[in-house]
């Protein structure tokens, strides 16, 4: 994509800003050294990440087209969003209790990657949602960058 006039960016968990004990660099510095521009989001809050994805999955343009399109080839993401991104449960004497932690698997990793990308794009680049709505106005891009 870089050769086609697009800038490729990545967003991730702000916990990735902690320096590695072995290399002395954080995750974002390592990605930068490999030529990928990556930024931490302002939070790693599950509720904020979930709300961001939920809002974009349920927002439509004035023409009633979804603002977030997921290619049908993204099978792991689709399956994760539909049924496999789940919270852990624990059996207690009162029955099954849902915990606040996500069951980690390849579905959760892909779904959480989407959460960070959408959160980062919204907060840092002022991604437009629909023709009249702009969300975010952070310092990185300096201007809105189209829509999702």
Identify whether the C-beta of residue 41 lies closer than 8 Å to the C-beta of residue 14: yes
pLDDT of residue 56: 85
pLDDT of residue 1: 53
The DSSP output letter for 131 is S
Where are the alpha helices (H) located in the chain, listed in sequence order? 27-33, 46-57, 75-79, 106-125
Token pair in block for residue 142? 């300096």
Q: Average pLDDT by consecutive 10-residue portion of the chain (148 residues)? A: 71 90 87 90 91 87 84 94 90 92 93 93 57 40 33
Alpha-carbon distance of 143 to 38, in angstroms, equals 18
- pTM of the entire structure? 0.74
pLDDT of residue 22: 78
Alpha-carbon distance of 10 to 4, in angstroms, equals 18
Alpha-carbon torsion 72, 34, 16, 135, what sign?
negative
pLDDT of residue 133: 41
pLDDT of residue 79: 95
């Amino acid at each position: 994509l870089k050769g086609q006039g697009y800038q490729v960016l990545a967003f991730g968990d702000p916990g990735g800003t902690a320096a590695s004990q072995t290399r002395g660099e954080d995750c974002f510095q390592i990605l930068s050294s490999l030529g990928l521009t990556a930024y931490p989001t302002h939070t790693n809050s599950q509720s904020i990440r979930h709300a961001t994805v939920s809002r974009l999955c349920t927002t439509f343009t004035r023409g009633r087209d979804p603002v977030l399109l997921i290619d049908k080839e993204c099978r792991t993401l689709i399956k994760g969003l539909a049924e496999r991104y789940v919270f852990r449960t624990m059996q207690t004497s009162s029955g099954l209790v849902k915990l606040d932690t996500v069951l980690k698997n390849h579905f959760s990793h892909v779904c959480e990657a989407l959460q960070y990308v959408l959160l980062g794009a919204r907060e840092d680049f002022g991604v437009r949602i629909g023709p009249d709505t702009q969300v975010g106005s952070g310092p990185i891009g300096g201007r809105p960058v189209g829509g999702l």
